[in-house]
Amino acid sequence: MVEEKTAADMETIVSLCKRRGFIFQSSEIYGGIGGSWDYGPFGVELKRNIKNAWWRDVVHRRDDMVGSDTGILMHPRVWEASGHVESFTDPLVDCKSCRRRFRADQVQDSVCPECGGELTEPRLFNLMLKTFLGPVEDDASLTYLRPETAQGMFVNFPSILEASRKKLPFGIAQIGKAFRNEITPRNFTFRTREFEQMEIEYFVKPGTDEEWHQRWIQERLNWYLRYGLTRERLRLRQHEGDELAHYSKATSDIEYLFPFGWAELEGISNRTDYDLRQHSAYSGKDLTYFDEESSTHIYPYVIEPSGGVDRAALAFLVDAYHEERVLKRQRTVLRFHPELAPVKAAVFPLLRNRPELVALAKDIASELRMHMPVLYDDTASIGRLYRRQDEIGTPCCVTVDVETLEDRAVTIRDRDSMDQIRVPIAEVKDTLLERLGRG
């Protein structure tokens, strides 16, 4: 008899992430730092799997996409041209009593949410993190840690176009860190000051932009569904006119129902020709595309699907989380899609005080390790070992028992159904690969 509960609260997720080595508070031994998180052994695997799946699906499996990896530090004029110096701001209010600061849209009735004190009038606060290049800290050496990866792709448009010989429509993809001096980082890894983005700048002929915008919205929604997010916990939301970023003609967000409510997972914007035109004007360089059909130089329009790796990881964690009561015992299980699971299989000896079982289990683990991330564990009873793997979402567990020495077969236990099958050692690798969808 299995009773199931799916939706977890944030406290449960944060505590599981810490306990099982997914995510830790940055600099925790010094009391932590706001808006920065560290990924531990399983968290980093989850994140890599998300990024690899994204890269494979949007770059390797498409003929109209190429990749890039541009610098976090860029010429400061980039941020003037892009409009970020002028417009990348949030309205900020100060509490006159406790001096805390809040985003104006996150407080109600001009009252401090912490102490009830009176708040100042909103003033604009630029979210870019400043830094200085070289030994002298003056205006001439001032630049910014990029607040989005996008600009690296716009300023490289002519070089990438020439090197790749692509024709419109085509896109550039990039994964990388971005930084924002968020006034109120919150909700665990949802809103942080340092995060990773997975961005596409897809260049199209003007006039075809609206159609491509709709295609990318569907494409990106389907991507989250393909890797297991629940349909009912995903929705599309179109931005109102006054919500649009300074570069956008239209934006639709893919929102996920996190434990703290519906919130943006990815934004898909129609950036028009804004960025290429701005960089042409500010740099004096030609960022046009020669359209053979009309024999004219044009500025392509840009559709930009821009997602956060950390937000995707959080959504996949929340969605995977299940609590069950199995035969009156509590079981916590992360039902990750096999592609995203940090560890694909774990191998145990049933009895850790039997050297022949331990040696054989270690051999099987090393052989499997050539084909997938595998964990060997003999530090607890079999029941506990299964529970540990359930909590990190390992799809399959392989157990070597006394009978294995006779019949050269092991037990494979399925994470979701908990069904067990007996498989000859020689067939374990292929059986696992098949179960992981790589057969």
Residue numbers at the binding site for ligand GAP (CB under 6 A): 148, 150, 180, 182, 191-192, 195, 197, 199, 264-267, 304, 306-308, 310-311
Report the chain's terminal Cα–Cα distance, integer Å: 32
Task: Report the alpha-carbon distance of residue 410 to residue 390 in Å, rounded.
Answer: 19
Which pair of tokens denotes residue 89? 């701001």
Indicate the residue among 20 and 193 with the shorter CB distance to ligand GAP.
193
Indicate the residue among 314 and 428 with the shorter CB distance to ligand GAP.
314
What values do phi and psi take at 211, rounded to 5? -65, -45
Indicate the residue among 174 and 411 with the shorter CB distance to ligand GAP.
174
What is the number of the residue whose Cβ is closest to ligand GAP?
Answer: 308
Instruction: Classify residue 6 by burial, with Cβ atoms within 10 Å: 0-12, 13-18, 19+.
Output: middle
Closest approach of ligand GAP to the CB of residue 243, in Å? 11
Closest approach of ligand GAP to the CB of residue 308, in Å? 2
Closest approach of ligand GAP to the CB of residue 175, in Å? 11
C-alpha dihedral sign at 80, 81, 83, 88: negative
Indicate the residue among 196 and 390 with the shorter CB distance to ligand GAP.
196
Closest approach of ligand GAP to the CB of residue 218, in Å? 17
Q: At what angle do helices 428-435 and 355-369 cross, to 10 degrees?
A: 50
Closest approach of ligand GAP to the CB of residue 312, in Å? 7
Indicate the residue among 182 and 323 with the shorter CB distance to ligand GAP.
182
Closest approach of ligand GAP to the CB of residue 255, in Å? 10
Per DSSP, the residues of 216-280 read HHHHHHHHHHHTT--GGGEEEEEPPGGGS-TT-SEEEEEEEEETTEEEEEEEEEEEETHHHHHHH
Indicate the residue among 94 and 199 with the shorter CB distance to ligand GAP.
199
Indicate the residue among 253 and 401 with the shorter CB distance to ligand GAP.
253
Per DSSP, the residues of 289-325 read EEETTTTEEE--EEEEEEEEHHHHHHHHHHHHEEEEE
Is-contact 361 368, C-beta < 8 A?
no
Which pair of tokens denotes residue 237? 């939301």
Indicate the residue among 264 and 377 with the shorter CB distance to ligand GAP.
264
Is-contact 393 227, C-beta < 8 A?
no
Q: Which long-range contacts (CB under 8 A, 24 or more apart) does 231-237 make?
A: 232/257, 233/257, 233/319, 234/265, 235/262, 237/262
Task: Report the alpha-carbon distance of residue 168 to residue 126 in Å, rounded.
Answer: 35
Closest approach of ligand GAP to the CB of residue 259, in Å? 16
Closest approach of ligand GAP to the CB of residue 339, in Å? 20
